[in-house]
Chains A and B, each alone.
Chain A
Amino acid sequence: MDTESRSPVVRLDDAVAVLGGFPALAGASIEIDHGEILLLRGPNGAGKTTLLRLCAGLVPLARGAGEVLGHDLSTERESIRQRVGLLGHHNGLYLDLTVGENVRFWGSTVGADDREIAGAIERMGVGDRLVDVTVRRLSAGQRRRTALACLVARRAELWLLDEPHAGLDATARDDIDAILRAAARAGATVVVASHELERAGALATRTVDVVAGQINPAAGEATP
């Protein structure tokens, strides 16, 4: 077992991230291990989205220390970006391209071959009759599954999801939960920020509270 696979996927130590002069994260510390599904819960403006964007290498670390997938958050943000997938309120899809064309494009940016791309499409359940449909014609749930197929094709090892259930019906939410559990079993690490505590709590293997830019363990919230 190499050093990277033994060390946590995410390690933050007193991390501070400043947005527009305001410390959106004010001394956050956490370790996230391989294969975890971690739920971040907290009120609006608590710093959940900033935490996700910090872990994606999009927000600079102003103070403290941090590593993601073995890369230093202060000096190796570009390397981090290539190995994580962040899915926010948008899906990052080209609406005039088909499902297959979208997944192929995103997979090709990391050199994924045809077999990997076809596998990603099948795993996320957007093959068969959907693969040649333009994204503009898909439902919200189908679009979200297509976006997740793009993450798989991109070989993202750390999935950072901001309100992944938002705007989806019950069936689509069940589909997303099943996909995330399967991704974690396959070795991905998943961090979810959600207001839907009942659903996301059932999905998560661990829950933490994000309050005023700091991370507190939510004792007794972990589910097997």
Chain B
Amino acid sequence: MNSAPTTWRIARLVAAKDLRVEWHSRIATNQVLPFAAVTMVIFAFALDSDAVLQRVAPGLVWLATLFSVLVLVQRAFAVEAEDGALEATRVAGVDPRAIYLGKALALGLQLFVLEIVLLVAAVVLYAQSVPLEGALLLTATLISATCGLAAVGILYGGLTAGQSGRETLLPLLTLPAVAPVLIGATRATEAARGTAGAVVSDGWPWLGLLAVFAVAFGVGGALAFGPLIDE
């Protein structure tokens, strides 16, 4: 008989389970990705000006990401609620920190792929480019912002799971909480691609903000998740 697995081992199990659920259901691939892409196209039609699009493209990419986060978080907890699985993990005494970290990891990986697709869409639709010297900043921004969004998304997803009106409650709680990520990631992305005279060095303080945000919500979320999903 093997010994009880560690928190990290269970977190990896939870993440692998969530990604396997997505592999079978293809909801993110067949619904969330097209939703994000359509959002980008609609932005392009609505603004309809190359100069404006060039200026606001980083913000549009992150705005489309935010909308997609809400859909992905709803989905992440819908699969738990459908047959009482989240309740079952609580009954089974599965470490809630591991559930939080695992679900955040799976959400983060899906978000990262989504962001890459959105950046490619921005290059195609908005004629965006990233100079070589901004590539490191852009990569670090993607990683930090993704961690922050996943940490907040799973925390508030857990908070609203099982509540009546959760579909409207989740965006109401999440969007104000992730405003610093939207602002920081947009500014850092602008600096990475040199939008409106910004230079790469302008982006590093924003990256610091994103990193602090991700760590604060990651640690706080792991500690708070258990009491939130407990009765």
Pair from one complex:
yes
A residues engaging B (CB < 8 A)? 56-58, 78-82, 84-86, 88-98, 101, 105-106, 108-113, 116, 134-135, 143, 154
Tell me how far the C-beta of A59 lies from the nearest C-beta in chain B, rounded to whole angstroms. Answer: 8
Cβ contacts under 8 Å, A84 to chain B: 91
What 0/1 pattern do residues 1 to 20 of B give for CB contact below 8 A with A?
Answer: 11111000010010001001
Range, interface on chain B:
20 to 34
Tell me if A58 and B91 are in contact (CB < 8 A).
yes
Tell me if A109 and B5 are in contact (CB < 8 A).
yes
Tell me if A109 and B83 are in contact (CB < 8 A).
no
Q: Most A CB atoms within 10 A — which of B4, B17, B92?
A: B92
Tell me how far the C-beta of A136 lies from the nearest C-beta in chain B, rounded to whole angstroms. Answer: 9
Tell me if A82 and B13 are in contact (CB < 8 A).
no
Known pairs A89-B84, A96-B79, A106-B88. 17 more at Cβ < 8 A?
A79-B93, A81-B90, A81-B91, A85-B92, A92-B84, A92-B91, A95-B79, A96-B24, A97-B21, A105-B17, A108-B13, A109-B94, A111-B3, A113-B1, A113-B2, A143-B83, A154-B92
Cβ contacts under 8 Å, A56 to chain B: 91
If the complex has contacts A90-B84, A92-B85, A95-B82, are A58 and B10 also in contact, measured as CB distance less than 8 A? no
Cβ contacts under 8 Å, B20 to chain A: 97, 101
Cβ contacts under 8 Å, B4 to chain A: 82, 110-111
Cβ contacts under 8 Å, B82 to chain A: 94-95
What 0/1 pattern do residues 116 to 154 of B give for CB contact below 8 A with A?
Answer: 000000000000000000000000000000000000000
Tell me if A111 and B84 are in contact (CB < 8 A).
no
Cβ contacts under 8 Å, A94 to chain B: 17, 21, 79, 82-83, 85
Q: How far is the CA of A66 from the CA of B115 in the complex (A)?
A: 52
Cβ contacts under 8 Å, A112 to chain B: 2
If the complex has contacts A96-B25, A97-B21, A134-B24, are A86 and B83 also in contact, measured as CB distance less than 8 A? no
Q: How far is the CA of A81 from the CA of B17 in the complex (A)?
A: 21
Tell me if B83 and A111 are in contact (CB < 8 A).
no
Q: Most A CB atoms within 10 A — which of B4, B10, B83, B84?
A: B83
Tell me how far the C-beta of B220 lies from the nearest C-beta in chain A, rounded to whole angstroms. Answer: 21
Tell me how far the C-beta of B28 lies from the nearest C-beta in chain A, rounded to whole angstroms. Answer: 12
11 A-B pairs with CB atoms under 8 Å apart are A80-B93, A81-B92, A86-B91, A90-B87, A91-B84, A92-B87, A94-B85, A95-B82, A110-B4, A111-B3, A134-B24
